[in-house]
Structure 1
């Protein structure tokens, strides 16, 4: 009898322990885990011509110089395009870790641009994490060049162009990232009546990491309803990112000579595969404002690795 009681007691304790383990498993599944997010989906704030989902951290000011030369197939007389150039310089600042603003000036059309980029969602790491990062981008461009016929001066509003984009990106692995960019560009004025005021486009860009500090990038934008007044082509670019401390240096080959969305998405006219290729580069330098400058800059550099 005593043996039966002892056996029954042992079995009861075993069942209680098993039930307790099941309860802990349920509580573990239902308890929120510490959130972790994917970092360095791209090395910089640009894929090549267009923006990436990356923002500068709060308090970081970035100075960017972008340069595009003439066509490589223009021949030795033009030093394979190096005699011609288009330049844009800009400043970008992180108001918060998720909100960045910027301004720039391009020599092409003497255009001034301003933009914001806000990170709506962040790709998470682990179980039940959100699978992609999503940013909203918006810009306005003022075309200041005076290339109009006498007596046909445009109004100030006619010189304005607007761009809206959603940037949808996923870092599939430490070596591979992909981004989709649905875009809408609105023009207050058009050259001919047949030109659409609103143009829809879809872009795709990617990054393949080759070494700790070097990656290969590609970018393509397909225009759904292009302009009728000029014979446009879809923007295509390939390039290499080189990250060195606070600098990100990009070497680019593209059929687009411009560096703002309203231009390279809707106004490119060169054919990449017929040799109408423009050599170019983007170079940036980040500066930290506020407390703990060295510590924050070191964190920025490590996040790019």
Structure 2
């Protein structure tokens, strides 16, 4: 009799395990969008490294983002190779719809406040339809750092800078995704007459998925404006993503100190060859305010 009960129990457990495996497969398939015709999960987070990706938050999802950059590695042992220095940005992003994001943030660099709108216009399809995902991005940044006393004749408008981007990405395989990011950064105030108010750049980057929860990312912004390129450097950033449930943890090496577009695209001064490399991280935490099933990147 005991053997019969044990056999029944084993059969029940086997059935439960098979059902659980089926449910996990359904979730995995939904995340990789191999069944719906829509390609999702192009990137693991809303940031590739410094710049935005085509990803948007689902409706009712709030994302809290902590971005941190230490000082440069070439600052030497006295500064513990940059660990004694820090720049930080805190941000909130909210999905008004599955396609429309709104976000705000505050960075310690120049005490900058920023806000953005992000709209996913096209979604990549498996077969017929759009071959890419296309997202429109628009942001404004406000410098709140006090002007030097000799420059107190500036107005509020001189504190503003704007960024416009078209984010175009394609998920080629389950492991490889690439993105192009044509970018325009406009500064209402520049340092000298020879500096350009409008700075054009072409961003490019990609993600290579190593395991289900880890990936390697790279990002590069090439300055198209000749005058700006004489004084500032193209931004090169490398990152490693680790997903742990509702968190995405990104380890970063970059030659840009700032975490807002006006800094890492148009005002970047770091040389990788000189050791002007900032180590840092991004931590993002997702909260579902409408109580739906948690979204997986």
TM-score (norm: length of structure 1): 0.83
Q: Distance in 2 between matches of 1:105 and 1:151?
A: 24
Q: Distance in 1 between matches of 2:139 and 2:154?
A: 21
Q: Deviations over 1:110-148 (max 9, x none)?
A: 00000010001000012x231000000000000111143
User: SS of the residue aligned with 2:273?
Assistant: helix
Query: What does residue range 49-198 of structure 1 map to in structure 2 within 5 Å?
Result: 49-126=50-127, 128-150=128-150, 152-198=152-198
User: SS of the residue aligned with 2:59?
Assistant: coil
Is contact 1:195–1:229 with CA below 8 Å preserved after alignment?
no
Q: Distance in 2 between matches of 1:239 and 1:132?
A: 23
Q: Distance in 2 between matches of 1:99 and 1:53?
A: 11
User: SS of the residue aligned with 1:252?
Assistant: strand
Report the Cα offset of residue 49 of structure 1. 0.1
Q: Distance in 2 between matches of 1:213 and 1:228?
A: 38
User: SS of the residue aligned with 1:243?
Assistant: strand
Q: Distance in 1 between matches of 2:90 and 2:227?
A: 27
Q: Distance in 1 between matches of 2:147 and 2:95?
A: 36
2:284 counterpart of 1:287: no
User: SS of the residue aligned with 2:204?
Assistant: strand
Report the Cα offset of residue 73 of structure 1. 1.3
Is contact 1:35–1:124 with CA below 8 Å preserved after alignment?
no
Q: Distance in 1 between matches of 2:146 and 2:263?
A: 17
Report the Cα offset of residue 272 of structure 1. 1.2
Q: Distance in 1 between matches of 2:133 and 2:148?
A: 43
User: SS of the residue aligned with 1:157?
Assistant: helix
Report the Cα offset of residue 150 of structure 1. 2.6
Aligned counterpart, 1:12 = none
Report the Cα offset of residue 229 of structure 1. 10
Q: Distance in 1 between matches of 2:229 and 2:271?
A: 17
Q: Distance in 1 between matches of 2:262 and 2:251?
A: 22
Report the Cα offset of residue 276 of structure 1. 1.1
Q: Deviations over 1:138-194 (max 9, x none)?
A: 000001111434354320011110000000000000000000000001111111111
Indicate how the Cα distance of structure 1 residues 229 and 195 shifts in structure 2: closer, same or farther if over 3 A, else same. farther
Is contact 2:220–2:234 with CA below 8 Å preserved after alignment?
yes
Is contact 2:250–2:282 with CA below 8 Å preserved after alignment?
yes
Report the Cα offset of residue 270 of structure 1. 0.9
Query: What does residue range 167-246 of structure 1 map to in structure 2 within 5 Å?
Result: 167-225=167-225, 231-246=231-246
Q: Deviations over 1:60-88 (max 9, x none)?
A: 00100000010011110000000111000
Is contact 1:227–1:266 with CA below 8 Å preserved after alignment?
no
Report the Cα offset of residue 36 of structure 1. 1.6
Quick check: 140-149 or 39-48, which moved more? 140-149
User: SS of the residue aligned with 1:263?
Assistant: helix
Query: Runs of 5+ in structure 1 lacking a partner?
Result: 1-33
Query: Runs of 5+ in structure 2 lacking a partner?
Result: 1-34
Higher radius of gyration, 1 or 2:
1
Aligned counterpart, 2:25 = none
Q: Distance in 2 between matches of 1:125 and 1:172?
A: 10
User: SS of the residue aligned with 1:274?
Assistant: coil
Quick check: 222-231 or 179-188, which moved more? 222-231
Aligned structure 1 segments of 4 or more residues deviating by more than 2 angstroms: 147-153, 226-231
Aligned counterpart, 2:293 = 296
Is contact 2:66–2:283 with CA below 8 Å preserved after alignment?
yes
Aligned counterpart, 2:21 = none
